[in-house]
């Protein structure tokens, strides 16, 4: 039985990963400051003797070290969550990402512990060469746009992580996540799917930012967590970066339409300007689609859960709450 540390384990992806690892018989240690994660997400693990929760921040290096030194592997998920958080708290988002990851890498190196670090598709910025490949250029906007601070911090984390691999031989794998969805995800921080579903279930207007023609690829959390576990256990993956998600594009307009159709909702789609929601300096990407060839080659990854099935799972979860 392995001992596993998950930073941000009370968050959306973290609690699904925790559940999967506990079901495999692993001993799981979670550290989360509950800034975006919730106790409700991990309450069902409370009676499991293999589950341990510490409410604290990864900026508390002393507490973090007490966890790292007893674990065999680390999933580093803790980070700012959602566009709204990034825009509302740019300084906190940037510093937490940078300093927190620095602490993880330093301690993992000290105890020679393998790390899987979750980065983001945001690092590709305004690059319009699709599908995105891991070695592609990053194209960012003005420093006056808070949106790019998050992308820059995660990109910097990637550089530091790879430097630890090259210079100090730290076994680390980097994963760029693309729009992960599933039950227990909140729409509070700007996540589009739970927000649309909540509005459609209540019959309220569904707010679409911009003209709704922007596209995204939505991957199910079940597929994602399976892949994360395979990657951290793959020694060949170390020192590499992998896109992870779905490569099936859908426009935000069509997403709203699909959700309304599944629910049978009479909600209206209303268009809201980006400026009204995020301020004048906000920039969005028209399309975001990953190449999955590298992760497919590495672990045979292929998304199993189709978007409609994933949406139905989320809707069912919401209606049973």
- CB neighbour list of residue 166: distance below 8 Å, 6 or more residues apart: 239
Whether 278 is catalytic: no
Q: What does each C-alpha distance from 71 to 52, 66, 209, 224, 236 come to in angstroms?
A: 12, 9, 43, 22, 21
User: How many other C-beta atoms can be found within 10 angstroms of the C-beta atom of residue 308?
Assistant: 12
Q: Are 155 and 222 in contact (CB under 8 A)?
A: no
**Annotated active-site residue in 140, 150, 189, 278:** 150
Q: Chain centroid to CA 228: how far?
A: 11
Strand partners, 52: 29
How many Cα neighbours within 13 Å face the side chain of 203?
Answer: 1
CB 119 within 8 A of CB 178: no
One-character DSSP codes across 176-232: EE--EE-TT--STTS-HHHHHHHHHHHT--EEEETTS--EEE-EEHHHHHHHHHHHH
| CB neighbours of residue 304 within 10 Å | 10
DSSP type of residue 4: E
What residues act catalytically? Answer: 150
């Amino acid at each position: 039985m392995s001992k596993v540390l998950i930073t941000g384990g009370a968050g959306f992806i973290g609690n699904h990963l925790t559940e999967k690892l506990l079901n495999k018989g692993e001993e799981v240690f979670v550290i989360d400051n509950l800034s975006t994660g919730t106790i409700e997400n991990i309450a069902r693990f409370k009676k499991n003797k293999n589950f341990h929760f510490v409410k604290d921040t990864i900026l508390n290096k002393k507490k973090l070290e007490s966890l790292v030194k007893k674990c065999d592997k680390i999933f580093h998920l803790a980070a700012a969550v959602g566009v709204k958080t990034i825009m509302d708290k740019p300084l906190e988002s940037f510093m937490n990402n940078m300093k927190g990851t620095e602490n993880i890498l330093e301690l993992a190196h000290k105890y020679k512990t393998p790390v899987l670090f979750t980065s983001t598709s945001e690092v590709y910025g305004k690059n319009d060469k699709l599908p995105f490949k891991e070695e592609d250029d990053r194209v960012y906007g003005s420093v006056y746009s808070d949106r790019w601070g998050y992308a820059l911090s995660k990109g910097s984390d990637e550089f530091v992580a790879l430097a630890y691999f090259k210079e100090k031989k730290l076994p680390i794998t980097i994963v760029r996540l693309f729009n992960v969805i599933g039950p227990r995800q909140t729409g509070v921080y700007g996540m589009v799917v739970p927000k649309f579903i909540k509005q459609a279930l209540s019959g309220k207007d569904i707010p679409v930012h911009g003209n709704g023609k922007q596209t995204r690829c939505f991957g199910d959390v079940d597929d994602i967590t399976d892949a994360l576990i395979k990657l951290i256990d793959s020694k060949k993956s170390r020192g590499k970066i992998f896109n992870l998600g779905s490569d099936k594009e859908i426009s935000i307009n069509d997403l709203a339409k699909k959700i309304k159709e599944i629910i049978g909702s009479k909600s209206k789609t209303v268009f809201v300007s980006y400026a009204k929601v995020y301020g004048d300096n906000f920039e969005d990407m028209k399309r975001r689609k990953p190449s999955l060839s590298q992760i497919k080659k590495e672990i045979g990854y292929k998304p199993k859960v189709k978007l409609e099935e994933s949406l139905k799972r989320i809707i069912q979860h919401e209606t049973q709450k």
